[in-house]
Amino acid sequence: MSDFNPVGLIHTTERIRAKVLFNRYYCDTGFARDLHETLLEKLDQMVGELHAELATERELAANRNTEDGEEWYRIYHICTCFEHLWIESGPISLLDQIHIDVEVDGETCRVTRNYTLVPAAELEGLGEILDRIRRETGVELVAARV
């Protein structure tokens, strides 16, 4: 993400969170309500990590005039911690863990397990919200079963 803006992402995530809360109220099944709850937790986690990114951004920006400050600021913006954890790592499932770390010969490799997406009909509107999150934040959240 070349124009990483944690403030904008916080506002976007909070607007989406309000939609999830509203949508949860109209769910017919416990499964869909539970998925909405899990999504709310993920969104809260995202906002918390975006606030941490703001603190990092401020610290690095304040030190830009030091000997190494400009270089650290530039490196940070190549791929922030938030981008690495939430965007670059691929889809994040609200249900089963779809990625595992495997160690082979002392090297750790991330492996994506075979998974199946939950049909949109079972999500009770959550599919559209997950698509909106992907479009507006770059974070790909899915409801997947292994």
pLDDT in tens, 35-86: 999 999 999 999 999 999 999 989 988 988 888 888 888 888 888 999 999 9
Q: What is the pLDDT of residues 85-113, one digit of tens each?
A: 999 888 999 999 999 888 988 898 888 89
Which tops the pLDDT comparison, 4 or 115? 115
Whether residue 92 is contained in a domain is answered as yes
Residue whose token pair is 């999504």: 39
Whether residue 1 is contained in a domain is answered as no
| pLDDT in the model for residue 135 | 96
Which residue, 128, 137, 131, is CA-closest to 7? 137
- Residue 111: beta bridge partners? 100
34: containing domain: 6-145
Whether residue 52 is contained in a domain is answered as yes
Whether residue 140 is contained in a domain is answered as yes
Report d(CA 75, CA 44) in Å as an integer. 27
- Please state the domain count of the chain: 1
Whether residue 53 is contained in a domain is answered as yes
Helices vs. strands in the chain: H and E counts, helices first? 6, 6
Report d(CA 25, CA 12) in Å as an integer. 21
Could you tell me the pLDDT band of residue 23, with boundaries at 50, 70 and 90? very high
Report d(CA 20, CA 17) in Å as an integer. 5
pTM over 0.75: yes
Report d(CA 68, CA 113) in Å as an integer. 41
